[in-house]
Amino acid sequence: MNTKSLVRGAIIAGLYLSLTLIFAPISFKAFQVRVSESLTLLPFLTFDAVWGVFIGCFIANFFSPFGFIDVLFGSLLTLIAAYLTFLLRKTKKIYLAPIPPILLNGLGVSFYITLLSSNEMSLSNFNLKLYLSISSSILIGESIATYLIGLPLIIYFSKLKFFKEEI
């Protein structure tokens, strides 16, 4: 990692955090939308954003009611999603970029939340109904943040000279 990538990643993390702070109370109808999740598409444009989004999410999760659990697992899922989004850029299909964050957060985060609120930490009596109700609300919130806000944003950025050098 060179200094430029490091600082860019750090600033993206800073942006993620600032957006989380500024738009904290935004919710569209019943769905909580973390506006900052729109940044999870940036890895489609530059690798520096993989670390940036991971770190932003890592620190932002200190606010989470799940505290340390979310700090560990939530940000790890974001890191994996960001890397997958980065890999997806080879396909050159920009509309695919939101799929990893939507799926990993929607299915992954709800998975550990369900496990934490189930009887035993075992898969044999996994509470499917609870899982589906949590994951659907996360899926919808995440889809709004990525497809409605994130996608127009990165389409715009992909035309900037600044990012064109990167791709």
Partner 1 sequence: MIGKDSLVIGQYFPGNGLLYSLDPRNKILSFLFLMIIIFFYKSLFSFIPIFLLVLSFIIISKIPIKSILKGLKPILMLLIITLFFHFFFTPGETIFKIFFLKLTKEGLNKGIFIGSRLIILIMISSLLTFTTSPLELTKGLEFLSLPLEKLKFPSTEIIMMITIALRFIPVLVEEADRIIVAQVSRGASFDEGNLIKRAKSLIPILVPLFVSSFRRAEELAIAMEVRCFQPGKKRTYMKRLTWKNIDTIFLIFIIIFGSLFLFIK
Task: Enter the DSSP assignment of 91.
Answer: G
**Span near partner 1 by CB under 8 A; candidates 20-28, 80-88, 89-97, 100-108:** 20-28
Name residues whose C-beta falls within 8 Å of residue 122's C-beta, 6 or more positions apart in sequence: none
Task: Enter the DSSP assignment of 64.
Answer: S
Tell me the three state secondary structure of residue 66: coil
Sign of the torsion formed by the C-alpha atoms of 90, 94, 95 and 98: positive
Chain positions 23 to 62 lying near partner 1, rule: CB under 8 A, are 23, 28-29, 35, 38, 51-52, 55-56, 58-59, 62
Residue pair 111/76 in contact by the 8 Å Cβ criterion: no
Query: Of 17, 81, 138, 139, which lies in the binding site for partner 1, with binding defined by CB under 8 A?
Result: 17
Residue pair 46/163 in contact by the 8 Å Cβ criterion: yes
Nearest CB to partner 1, comparing residues 87 and 162: 162
Nearest CB to partner 1, comparing residues 121 and 123: 121
Ramachandran sector of residue 67 (left: φ over 0; alpha: ψ -120 to 50; beta: rest): left
**Total interface residues for partner 1 by CB under 8 A:** 58
Question: Is residue 74 a contact point for partner 1 (CB under 8 A)?
Answer: no
For partner 1, the binding residues (CB under 8 A) are: 1-4, 6-11, 13-15, 17-19, 21-23, 28-29, 35, 38, 51-52, 55-56, 58-59, 62-63, 65-69, 71, 113, 116-121, 127, 129-130, 133-134, 144, 148-149, 152-153, 156-157, 160, 162
